[in-house]
Amino acid sequence: MVLFCACGIIFAADAVEGYWLSIDEKTQKVTGGWYIYQENNVLYGKILSGPDDGPDKIADKCDASYKGFPISGKVNEMKVFGTPWIFGLTMDKPGQWSGGNVVDPTDGKMWKCKIFFRPAGSLKQYTTDMLEMRGEWNFGIGRSQFWQRTDEATASGLYK
């Protein structure tokens, strides 16, 4: 029984994994539904849907390739939805990931990426579970967005 419980703890999903709504830090509007997941101890994130684009939107503002991009092919010919725009992050400790990148498919810019889980109640402003997704370009200079936990149906259903 002890071994079974220990294995359950070791193989449990990290708190950052799951479905999230990205929120623009200036307008507070939902910009996308995301799925954050692990493969081989590396963290990835795919956009599942967005309020402004349909499922066939192509990331034509992106470069043809990016160092370390997790799938082969020309990135500027890939669909916005279903492509892993967050990639290469490794766990610093449970709920904290860094060392990877995020590509913004709307403008093609690639940023260094860090992700932090902020549980509900950990600070006064966190009334629900939040994900801090931080994009940085140099020496910690960058910006953070705070995403809200959601379910698969909501994250996948933002199309108009």
pLDDT attached to residue 2: 40
- Averaged pLDDT for residues 2-16: 56
DSSP 10: H
Domains of the chain: 14-156 (2.40.128.520)
User: Is it the case that residue 10 has pLDDT exceeding 80?
Assistant: no
User: Cα–chain-centroid distance for residue 53?
Assistant: 18
Q: Is the pLDDT of residue 9 over 80?
A: no
| pLDDT per position as a tens digit, 83-123 | 999 999 999 999 999 999 999 999 999 999 999 999 987 76
Distance (Å, whole) CA 50 – CA 88: 23
pLDDT for 54? 84
Out of 77-81, 106-110, 121-125, 148-152, least confident range: 121-125
In angstroms, the CA 63 to CA 3 distance is: 48
- Compute the distance between CA of residue 103 and CA of residue 108 in angstroms, rounded to an integer: 6
- Select from 14, 11, 9 the least CA-distant residue to 37: 14
Q: Which pLDDT does position 160 carry in this prediction?
A: 64
Structure tokens at 60: 């034509």
Categorize the per-residue pLDDT at 71 as very low, low, confident or very high, splitting at 50, 70 and 90: very high
Examine the pLDDT at 19 and tell me if it is beyond 60: yes
Interval 137-149 mean pLDDT? 89
Say whether pLDDT at 77 is over 90: yes
Structure tokens at 119: 């549980």
The structure's pTM equals: 0.88
Mean pLDDT in the chain? 89
Residue 41 has pLDDT above 60, yes or no: yes
